[in-house]
Amino acid sequence: MSAARRLRVLVADDEPMVRVGIAAILTSDADIEVVGEAGDGQAALALARSTPLDALVLDIRMPVLSGLDVLRALRADGSSLPCVLVTTFGEDDYVAEALALDADGFVLKSGDPRELVLAVHAVATGGAFFSPTIARRMLGRPLGTDAIRVWDARRRFAALTPREQEILRLVGLGRSNPEIAAELFLAPGTVKTHMTSILRTTGARNRVEAALVAVHAREA
C-alpha cells in the first residue's frame, strides 16, 4: 500500500496505557495511521460517525458505552465500518454477541502484538481475523462436541460448488476479496457474488461465520 493512502484507524480503550500501546503498535506499520483515540464508548461512537475511517479498534468493556454498544449503534446506523474487538480471557459470551453484530475481527490483549496489525489490514480490505487463541476457544461453542461441530461444517462446506469451496478456503485463511480475486484470477465483483452465494448456502450470517465453516471443515 502506498504511504499516501494509509489505513485510517480509530482506537478506543478506557485504559490510557493500553490505548497508547495499541496506537503505538499500529503506527509501527507504515501503512497504518491512527487518526483518533477515545477513552470511552460514547466518544468512540461520536468519532466513528464523524471521521472517515478504514477500521475501528474497540475494547469490549468500556465505560458509558461498551464496545458492543458502539458496534450495535453503528450497525443500526447502517454502517459497515470494519471493527476489530480487543478482548481478554473469560469474555467468550461477549465475543459471541459481537459475532452476531457482524464484528470483523478479534484480538486477544495478551496476544502477539503483530496480530493487531494483521487484523487491521485484514478487516480494512474486506477480510476477517481471529487471534488463534480466541478461535480455538470459540469455534466449538455453538454446536457442543468437536465431532458434531466438524460434521456440520463439512456438511455445509460440501454443499458449495468447487469454486465456492476454493474461495471459502481462502476466506478461512484471512484473505480479503481483492486478495482472493488476484490469487484466483477473478474479477472482484465475481468474488463478491460468490461470497453472497456462500453465505446463503452455508447459512452463515456474515463473513466471520463463513470463515469458521472453512476452519472447522479443515479439522476433519
102-141: per-residue pLDDT in tens? 788 888 888 888 899 999 998 898 877 878 777 666 655 5
The letter for the amino acid at 105 is: G
Task: Return the bridge partners of 34, or none.
Answer: 9
**Residue in the structure block whose three cell numbers are 465475481:** 190
Does one domain contain both 100 and 31?
Answer: yes
CATH code of the domain containing 106: 3.40.50.2300
**Domain range spanning residue 129?**
7-139
The answer to whether residues 86 and 60 touch, using CB atoms and an 8 Å cutoff, is yes
pLDDT in tens, 92-105: 677 777 877 878 88
- Does residue 60 lie in a domain region? yes
**Per-residue pLDDT, 134:** 72
Q: Name the grid cell of 97.
A: 454477541
47 in a structural domain: yes
Confidence of residue 2 (pLDDT cuts 50, 70, 90): very low
Q: Are 40 and 14 in contact (CB under 8 A)?
A: yes
As beta bridge partners, residue 11 has 37, 57
pTM of the model as a whole: 0.68
Confidence at residue 194, expressed as pLDDT on a 0 to 100 scale: 95
Q: 25: closest CA among 122, 132, 113, 120?
A: 113
Pairing of strands 32-38, 7-12: parallel
Residue 116 lies in a domain: yes
In a domain? residue 27: yes
